[in-house]
Chains A and B, each alone.
Chain A
Amino acid sequence: MLQPQKSREQSTVNTCLVSGRGSGAPSALERHRQAEHYDGRSDAVDFDEAWNILRSSLHEIHSKNASQLSFEELYRHAYKLVLKKKGELLYQKVKDFEEDWLAQTVQPQVLASISPTILCLETEAATIAATVNEKRADGEKLLRSLKGAWEDHNLCMNMITDVLMYMERVYCKDFRKPSIFTASMGQFRDCVLRSPIQSDHDRRTTIGKLVTAVILYQIHMDREGDIIDKALLKSCVYMLEGLFESEEEDESTRLYLTSFEEDFLLASRAFYSTEGSRLLLDADAGTFCRHARKRADEERDRCRSTLSPLTLPKIKAVIEEELIRRHLGDVIALENSGVRYMLDNDLVDELEMIYDLSARVDSDKVELRKAVQGRIKQLGTDVNHAASNVGMSGVVKQALPKPEITNAETGETEPQVKALDKPVNQQTAAAIQWVDDVLRLKQKYDLVLLQAFQGDQILQTAITRSFSDFINELDRSSEYLSLFFDDHMRKGIKGKTENEVDVLIEQGILLLGYIQDKDMFERYYKKHLSKRLLMKRSISMDAERQMISKMKLAVGNAFTTRIEKMFLDMNTSADLTSSYKQYVNSLGDPDPRRVELDVSVLTSTVWPVETLMTSTKEGESRSACIFPAGIERVKHGFQKFYLGKHSGRQLTWQAKLGTAEVRGFFPECKGQKKTRDLTVSTHGMLILLLFNDMGKDDTITCEEIQARTNIPMNDLFRNLQSLSVAPKTRILRKTPMSKDVKLSDRFSFNESYYNPAQKIKVLLVTSGNQVEGLEERSETERKNDDERQGVIDAALVRIMKQRKELAHQKLIAEVIGQLNTRFSPDIPMVKKRIESLIEREYLERLEKEPASYRYLA
Chain B
Amino acid sequence: MTIKTSEGMIRVHKDVFCLTSPVIAKAMEGQFVESQEDCFDLSHEDPEIISRFVEFCYLSRYETVERVQQIGFDLSLTKDDDGIVQYIGPTAVQRPNLPILSRSSERGASSRLPPRPSPTARGPDAQESAKKTALILNAARLRLDVSMWAMGDLYDVQHLKSYAVGQLNTRLSALWEQGNSPSLILDIVQPVYECTFSINDDLRIMLVQSLRKFKRAIGREPLLRSRFEALTKSNNELMTDL
What is A's interface to B at a CB cutoff of 8 Å? 18-19, 21-23, 25-26, 28-30, 32-33, 36, 40, 66-76, 79, 82-83, 159, 162, 165-166, 169-171, 174
CB pair B105–A170 under 8 Å, yes or no, is no
B82 to chain A: closest CB distance in Å?
Answer: 35
The answer, among B44, B102, B107, for a CB contact under 8 Å with A32, is B44
* Category for how many chain B residues contact A: 20 to 34
Tell me, in angstroms, the Cα distance from A641 to B240 when the chains sit together: 126
A72 to chain B, nearest CB (A): 5
Is the Cβ of A66 less than 8 Å from the Cβ of B105? Answer: no
Q: Tell me whether A83 and B195 are in contact (CB under 8 A).
A: yes
Question: How many Å from the CB of B223 to the closest CB on chain A?
Answer: 25
- Our pick among B34, B97, B113, B197 for the contact of A170 (Cβ within 8 Å) is B197
Rank and list the top 9 A-B pairs by shortest CB-CB distance, nearest first.
Answer: A71-B27, A71-B32, A22-B103, A162-B26, A66-B31, A170-B197, A70-B33, A71-B34, A69-B32
A23 to B27, CA, bound (A): 32
> Given known contacts A162-B26, A165-B26, A165-B156, is B200 in contact with A72 (CB within 8 Å)?
no
B219 within 8 A of A: no
Q: B191 at interface (Cβ–Cβ under 8 A)?
A: no
B72 at the A/B interface (Cβ < 8 Å)? Answer: yes
A28 touching B23, Cβ below 8 Å: no
Known: A22-B107, A83-B197. Contact between A28 and B30, CB under 8 A? no
Given contacts A66-B32, A68-B33, A69-B33, contact A25 B27 (CB under 8 A): no
Q: List 26 A-B contacts (CB under 8 A).
A: A18-B69, A19-B113, A21-B7, A21-B103, A28-B6, A29-B44, A36-B97, A40-B97, A66-B32, A68-B33, A70-B34, A71-B26, A71-B32, A71-B34, A72-B34, A72-B40, A72-B41, A75-B27, A79-B154, A83-B195, A159-B30, A162-B26, A165-B26, A166-B23, A166-B154, A174-B200
A22 touches B41 (CB 8 A): no
Shortest Cβ gap from B240 to chain A (Å): 14
Judge whether B6 and A29 touch: CB under 8 Å: yes
> Assuming the A-B contacts A72-B42, A174-B197, are A162 and B102 also in contact, with contact meaning beta carbons closer than 8 angstroms in the complex?
no
Residue of B whose beta carbon sits closest to that of A76 = B154
Q: Say yes or no: is B94 at the interface (Cβ < 8 Å to chain A).
A: no
Bound Cα distance from A23 to B113, whole angstroms: 13
User: Given the known A-B contacts A26-B6, A75-B27, A165-B26, are A70 and B41 also in contact in the complex, defined by CB atoms under 8 Å?
Assistant: yes
- Taken together as a complex, chains A and B put the C-alpha atoms of A70 and B40 apart, in Å, by 9
B108 CB to closest chain A CB (Å) equals 11
**11 more A-B residue pairs beyond the given contacts A18-B113, A32-B44, A162-B30, with a C-beta to C-beta distance below 8 A:** A22-B72, A28-B43, A29-B6, A40-B96, A67-B31, A72-B27, A72-B42, A76-B154, A83-B195, A159-B30, A174-B200
Contacts of A162 in B (CB 8 A): 26-27, 30
Q: Does B117 contact A (CB under 8 A)?
A: no
SS class of chain A's interface: helix, strand, loop or mixed? helix
Q: Which of B32, B33, B200 has the most CB of A within 10 A?
A: B32
Nearest CB on B from A353, distance (A): 52
Contacts of B7 in A (CB 8 A): 21
A66, B30: Cα distance in complex, Å: 9
* Shortest beta-carbon distance from B101 to chain A in Å: 11
Which of A21, A73, A165 is B23 in contact with, Cβ under 8 Å? Answer: A165
B118 interface residue per 8 A CB criterion: no
By a CB distance below 8 angstroms, the chain A residues around B105 are 30, 33
Say whether A83 contacts B194, CB under 8 Å. yes
> Which chain B residue lies CB-closest to A158?
B30
Q: Smallest CB–CB gap between A576 and chain B, Å?
A: 100
* Residue interface bits B15-54, CB-to-A below 8 A is 1, else 0: 0000000110011001111101000111110000000000
B154/A67 in contact, CB under 8 A: no
A79 to B155, CA, bound (A): 10
Question: In the bound complex, what is the Cα–Cα distance between A233 and B17 (angstroms)?
Answer: 40
Q: How far is the CA of A74 from the CA of B34 in the complex (A)?
A: 12
B78 proximal to A (CB < 8 A): no
With A29-B6, A169-B156, A174-B200 in contact, do A71 and B30 touch (Cβ < 8 Å)?
yes
Residues of the A chain whose Cβ atoms lie less than 8 Å from the Cβ of B6: 25-26, 28-29
Chain A residues with Cβ below 8 Å from B156 are 165-166, 169
Interface centre among A26, A28, A67, A159 (most CB of B within 10 A): A67
Residue of B nearest to A155 (CB): B31
**B198 interface residue per 8 A CB criterion:** yes
B33 close to A67 (CB less than 8 A): yes
Asked if residues A75 and B23 are in contact (CB atoms below 8 Å), the reply is: yes
Interface centre among A36, A66, A71, A174 (most CB of B within 10 A): A71
Instruction: Find the A residue at minimum CB distance from B193.
Output: A83
A162 to B97, CA, bound (A): 29
